[in-house]
Amino acid sequence: MKKTAIVLAVLSLQMSWAHQHHNHSEKSILASQGIFDDQDVQDRTLSDWEGDWQSIYPYLVSGELDRVLAAKAEKGDKTIEEYRAYYLNGYKTDLTLVKIHGSQIEFIAPNKVSSCEYKYSGKKILNYDSGKKGVRYQFECLDANSTAPKYIQFSDHIIAPEKAGHFHLYMGNDSHDALAVQLSNWPTFYPAAFNQSDIIHEMIGHDAHGAHQHGVANMNISIEHGNVELELEGALANFISFEYAPKSDAEIAEVKAMATQLNAIDQLFVLPKDANCAVKNLGLASDVIEPELLGHKAHSEEHKHHHTTHGNLTMTAQWQCQTPAKLQQLEVKLFPYFPHLEHVEVQMITPNGQKSAELSRKNTVIQW
């Protein structure tokens, strides 16, 4: 890929594009910050929290999260020790593991294991003194004889159906209303497969690929002397139903089906027939998926974070066209194949100059 041309196009258009672009995916970003309209809050099922989860309280107590505290202190309004005291109270729990499979939840502590089948009890929107808001997803134990918590509430900064990357869990035996006023203790859980490095990576939020937005992909295009180069990048969840390294046979099959579709590039990106274009190079890469599953050879593992819950996908392609004068448009047919994808932000440089565009299901053609 000729990165120089693409980078120049992006830099020159970036500022104006940032002010122009407002779309549905921004709602999820704002919601994670506690800013949302009540009407956008949707019901969710336990499947959003399916899996085995570990408490991060022990990591905090042992000092293994000091890097996270230091990063917070650098940007926040507390010292490292003030943050430590705040989170020691917030994360405190006897639980080491929570296992969620189907409607059954198992709570594991050093000297106690309990479980129960839970049913959904609705959602509760909370309005905080800061002006921000939160959502608790409520579930109730169906077995009156179980020693598991009678009432539990999930909070994960998400307001619509989506796989959680981590969550805060509120637990009690009085009522959902009593739990809703509990604001000082919020035991926090990350995937049990995570090690210390994975947790720190997620909590600090390092992402070498930039903003991670669901529903939106970024596409850079360079056209010169009949050579068309394209780079498409976005959250993995835009292309499949999850965004972590596949574990089950079903998840691996879903990844392979996605790769098969993306490798059929002529179905997804259509250049004019009379331009006589042929694909020269095609690549797929992800920070959480092995290259072999994407149909490509393994390269550097430098940026691999296979345990992250917020993976990305990058596609690169190159065409050589025998009749450059006929290169006047590109039709993008991604949307019917990937229903989670809502918008593609395009930055391009062509023989006619620089151009930006926003593609959607109703607008799939770029002309220059």
- DSSP letters, 198-256, are HHHHHHHT--TT----TTEEEEEEEEETTEEEEEEEEEGGGTSS--S---SHHHHHHHH
| Pairing status of strand 97-101 against strand 51-55 | antiparallel
3-class DSSP assignment, residue 86? helix
Q: Which residues contact 11 (CB under 8 A, 6 or more apart)?
A: none
pLDDT score for 308: 54
pLDDT score for 222: 92
What is the value of pTM for the model shown? 0.56
pLDDT score for 26: 59
What is the amino acid identity at position 2?
Answer: K
Residues of the chain with CATH 2.40.128.20: 27-204
For residue 49, what are its two tokens? Answer: 């929290």
Hey, which CATH number is domain 27-204, 3.40.30.10, 2.40.128.20, 3.30.9.30, 3.40.50.2300?
Answer: 2.40.128.20
pLDDT score for 309: 58
pLDDT score for 25: 52
In angstroms, rounded to a whole number, what is the distance separating the alpha carbons of residues 136 and 120? 11
Per the CB < 8 A criterion, the answer to whether 244 and 235 are in contact is no
pLDDT score for 64: 93
Per the CB < 8 A criterion, the answer to whether 308 and 194 are in contact is no
For residue 354, what are its two tokens? Answer: 């620089």
Q: Which residues contact 249 (CB under 8 A, 6 or more apart)?
A: none
State the 10-residue block means of pLDDT for the chain, 368 residues long: 45 40 56 88 96 97 93 84 95 98 97 97 92 94 97 95 93 95 93 88 57 77 93 91 87 93 94 96 91 73 51 93 94 93 89 86 91
pLDDT score for 77: 79
